[in-house]
Structure 1
Amino acid sequence: MLKSNPTTWLDRDTVAAWIFLAPALLLLGVFLLFPILYLLGLSFTGGSFTTAGVRWIGLLNYRRLFVDPDFWHAIANTLYFTVATVIPSLIIPLILAVFLNRAIALRGLLRSAYFIPSITSIVAVGLGFRWLFQDRGPINQFLELLGIDSIPWLSSTIWAMPVLILLSTWKQIGFNMVVFLAGLQAIPQSRYEAAELDGANDWAQFWHITLPGLRPTLIFAMVTTAIFTLRSFEQIYVITGGGPLNSTNILVYYIYEQAFALFDFGYAAAAATILLAIALLLVYLQLRTWKEE
């Protein structure tokens, strides 16, 4: 019995494939892989980019992180900010997607209107929110018309974070709504028709058909929203600057302060490595869930 020659990595098709992939791989290496490796290396160094230069200090930056109360305060703020943003950023778009998936008037216009926040500059939106929620801004003026005392939104350790959560949720609603609409249209209509024949009402169809059918889409939306929230910087920089009293100082802004205010680049790189590990963990969980599906 004749044995076929094994395909080697030097055959014509493989070489052609590597030639076509080379430009993309080069770009990924230069703009993705190299910065990650440089970040990891920098996290094990101390000093600054001056005549004194950087020096190897091993795990000292990571030890500093785990005993730094400001770092753990930033972690707690990040957790609060992320959870409080992800939950409404999934529930509200899901409701809107279910509503817009039906044949209603002006459906295309409503889809575009809800998606506009996703393509709007977050810096411009942040300036608008800062104007709305300033001490004598339109929000407080409206509250006073209702007989409610004005609230120091941006100077209060209690209310500053909810303003940022509101902005981030508003920014993410349109993108998640489009994702859910795509997921809804992938569910076979025959399932709903069979459920109607069995006497299932709208809530039963939503609970037993829509939600199970949207499970992979829900996981994707949850992970992307969490990553979007974890890397939030512009709204904190524009609206609160991490204040008041570090109540809105989340991990990304903490890294920015350590690197570009205190010029402690090695310590900032260690904190950024922790953030990268969290993001990679979320992506791993998403891929693992899709594989199970």
Structure 2
Amino acid sequence: MVVAAFFFALYAICVKFSSVEGIGSFEVLFYRSFFGLVIFYAMMRYRHITVHTVHPADHLIRSFMGAGAVMAGIYSIAHLNVGLAMTLNYTSPLFIGCFTIGILLSKHKGINWKLLSTLLLGFVGVTVMLSPTITPDEYFAAVVGLGSGFCTAVATTYVKRLGLMKEPELRILFYLVLVGSLCGLIGTLFTGGFTMPTATAAIAIAGFAICSTCGQFFLTRAFSRGNLVLSGALQYTVILFSTIMGVFVFGDSVNLTIVAGMVMIVVSGILASYFTRLEKQKQLEEAKHTEEGLQSHLRHKAARDH
């Protein structure tokens, strides 16, 4: 996970360089996605995994939300300090926690106050981090960065859903980069077409394409083979890496208020992931007990009837 975080931080730096060199956000989305499309399709062919799926609707929702998250992340990186943008992009655990609170309310169950207080801490951290640092013309980019976290939360929910339906990871990634490639291509054509890259831009394009693919590989490996709680906590090292790189490469300013806001978001994100997982385990245990009780009742009823 730490290696994945390092690659994603390098990815952010390359995206920033490409935006400085005049490469648009839709172009970045296309280049990143198309490179992944070629790699993941080749891996699917090697492992004899077909593109056919019996869950097209779930793939479609996951892929569009995932592509939206990538696009929003690219835009926020291009218009904000790298560290700030990456922090906003990693707010998805807060939104997943909000989804959990919403489900509890819809089922008329008690509110998990620990989770709710954690979410409030996280969004206060967003306000603390942004309030002294961004100008009015950067507000939209900040909202888009939060939108990346929201889209990631929805996409993650559907990744888990597809995983439970035994969909291969490579097929899930394939449809994500396929939709990303199409969205990037169409968006680029509607916003003036492709820009002839400079030498620096070409290196940046190659850099973010390779780094995003490597980061995704190590991220998937960490979550599939490692401890989920530890992996979820370590993924926030991307904020440390990207902030340090932003300071040294682009001269981004960092003060104690920004650091305090980042720490609040990281801590709340880790706690939100933990409390959300506990809440889901509790719901699964309740459902299991209910099912066992129903089966016991049916057995007793059958015995009496006999």
Both structures adopt the same fold (TM-score exceeding 0.5) = no
Structure whose residues are more often helix by fraction: 2
Q: Which has the higher contact order (CA 8 A, sep 6+)?
A: 2
TM-score by length of 1: 0.28
TM, length-normalised to structure 2: 0.27
Whose Rg is larger?
1
